[in-house]
Amino acid sequence: MIKLQKTNEISPFYEKKVECIHCQKTFPSLKVRSKFIKIESTESDFRPIYSDENINALFYNVFVCEHCGFSFTEDFSKYFAPGLKEIIEERITKKWISRSFHGERSLSQALQAYQLALVCGNLKKEKFVTLAGLAIRTAWLYRSIHNENQELRFIKIARDLYLDSFSTEDYAGTGMSHTRILYMVAELSRRMGDFENATRFFSKIIENQRNGGEVKIIEMAKAQWQLVREERDQITS
């Protein structure tokens, strides 16, 4: 006997009307309902592993304007410095072949969206911490399909951007704390095989623990610092 799907079942996705911060036109974009976002575990660089691989909230973080091609997230500032809109018009909009990212996204579409947002964010001169967030999520998507070369490429981009954010303190007022920035620099350095910077930044977190702070991240830093020592010893032995 064939079971019919209930017509009143709630979809994991809902449509959101988004106003493009560049051209001000509206377009539809899908988001995942929070009740359907179930994280099974989290990796050491905070990549979430979702219980249902068909409902990956990472796929829908980036809004892609179907009208002008400008791609952005909720972390982007609405402010455009003088002259930037003209640069984006020339570099993005004039070359944009209109297509919609509305609807359920494939991994390929999600990767395109993140890489478009990275280009747009760089042109717009978004905060380093915002660009780093795009780069690390791109790396996570490549990790999910075991593309190590591209994963490491975007890990390096993210690590360097987190370093810039640390140096300029542009993470102030965002969801990223000083300790978490230090941790991301350290852990991404470890994943790149840059054990010198990994040791240096994990040590900064451990040294600062007496000042209080985020206990979970401090404990993670201690574990990863030990892992760095073991990995370095394996290479030198």
* Element at 139 (helix H, strand E): helix 128-144
Fill in the amino acid letter for 223. A
Q: Is 77 helix (H, G, I), strand (E, B) or coil?
A: coil
Q: pLDDT tens across 103-123, in order?
A: 999 999 999 999 999 999 999
Per this entry, what is the length of the chain? 237
Q: Is 15 helix (H, G, I), strand (E, B) or coil?
A: strand
pTM: 0.92
Asked whether residue 96 carries a pLDDT value surpassing 90, the answer given is yes
* pLDDT for res 237: 65
Residue 63 and residue 71 in contact, taking contact as beta carbons nearer than 8 Å:
yes
